Amino acid sequence: MARLRFPDGFHWGAATASYQIEGGWNEDGKGESIWDRFAHAPGNVKNGEHGDVACDTYHRFAEDVAIAKELGLTSYRFSIAWPRIQPSGRGVVNPKGLDFYRALVDALLDAGIRPFPTLYHWDLPQALEDAGGWPERDLAGRFADYAEGVTRALGDRVSDWMVFNEPNVFTACGYLMGIHAPGRRSLPDFLRAVHTVNRAHGLAFHAMKAVRGDLRIGTAFSFTDCQPACDNDADASAAGRWHRFVNEMFIGPTLRGAYPDVFREGGAPLEAMDVREGDLAEVRAALDFVGVNLYTRTLIEDAPEDANLGARPALPFGGNEGAKTDFGWEVWPEALYNVLVWLARDFDNPVLEITENGCSYGDGPDADGVVRDTRRIDFYRGYLEAVHRAIGDGADVRGYHAWSLLDNFEWAEGYEQRFGLVWVDPQTRDRTIKESGRWYAQVAAENGVDG
């Protein structure tokens, strides 16, 4: 097989998120988050599990950094817990919270690994949710204040940042479907949350640049490759509307200063979103890069009974042609290729970083203590081939981050789904590098993958 080499300086990394790995949920002055509240309520998470301890990274971060170094990673994506910095989401910062992230950043720098933090990966301070949460307009300014404070504290040692992780997911799952924190089911709340988050994004970007103009700032958007379920005009039109709704409702306002047309008859729900005069200028941000989170494709069919979008997924989590992960998600590398070339074509060839891509397989240690997760290796090989092909076709991709470094708390699924390159024992939290992690280390060392 030919060796597919990646561009010189390409970042090989792994990604994590604060609530999913840190634990220490109420230590050293940290405030309650919406995920603390949501996971502690019976019935919200499988098996009644929660992130109180998670991977215990709050106490074992040095071990995780050492593993990342052993794997030869050059970039480590993590998130900063807002309630660890501002326990109530406003006011004076918690010095012990900042000390934790300073220590993590310093350990990464000492290991020769780029710190790549995300300011918000879904753990809103519960006090702000009690005041109305993301549907409330004034939360945009509070988030910008938080972003500015963290930038002042860490901007001298962190050069590359992300503002949000998957704004379309946390607004829809948290405020429309109610399957994630804070567990609300309200179309009006969801629509207002979308616009508040877009305003918060623009305000935070400019606040951070005002502190240090040389920072590289982007956001990790969740994308999917929307394809018509059947070969007909109705499904093709529906797939276009779903694409604009899922893929462009956040990146569109950010880079173009306008919401996409998502209704069957054209237009977007601007009045219901509470879009006011001057807002669309406020949401614009000239991102230094676009973070790409992608797992699979989505097959879309026409939905005549839906008076708004008139579109719906035909199947959950992809189609039925590709292999399935243990989460039931279709393995479809072409989806990543298609999204990368679409971004390059439609958004003036921005700098791209794959900020999440990965798979859940439950393989555990065998009698020899080895985790032989060959299906995960096959998954990554296929998706990395797709990235390499997209680069060859002009997409400016600068890095790839496997989701995730560690088996961790997978939101409403609890600890049932294992995405890690590293096995985490559910009782002791001891770490074991899987065979996929060893394979990924070789990819990073050789800056290439067998095609």
The residues assigned a catalytic role are 166, 356
Nearest-angstrom CA–CA distance, 333 and 323: 11
Nearest-angstrom CA–CA distance, 447 and 5: 6
Q: Closest by alpha carbon to 382, among 357, 404, 399?
A: 357
Non-local (6+) Cβ contacts of 421 within 8 A are 14, 71, 376, 402, 404, 405, 406, 433, 434, 436, 437, 440
Token couple for 357: 């891509």
Q: Closest by alpha carbon to 79, among 25, 30, 116?
A: 116
Residue 367 has φ and ψ, to the nearest 5°, of: -60, -25
Nearest-angstrom CA–CA distance, 407 and 409: 7
| Cβ pair 73, 14 in contact under 8 A | yes
Q: How do the residues of the chain divide into helix, strand and coil, expressed in percent and rounded to 5?
A: 40, 20, 45
Nearest-angstrom CA–CA distance, 280 and 93: 30
Token couple for 381: 């090989």
Buried b (16+ CB within 10 A) or exposed e, 436-451: bbebbbebbeebbbee
Q: How many CB atoms lie within 10 A of CB 397?
A: 23
| Cβ pair 113, 159 in contact under 8 A | no
Give the Cα-Cα-Cα angle 183, 88, 172 (nearest 5 degrees).
25
| Cβ pair 162, 128 in contact under 8 A | no
Nearest-angstrom CA–CA distance, 255 and 105: 29
Token couple for 56: 């215990």
Nearest-angstrom CA–CA distance, 245 and 239: 10
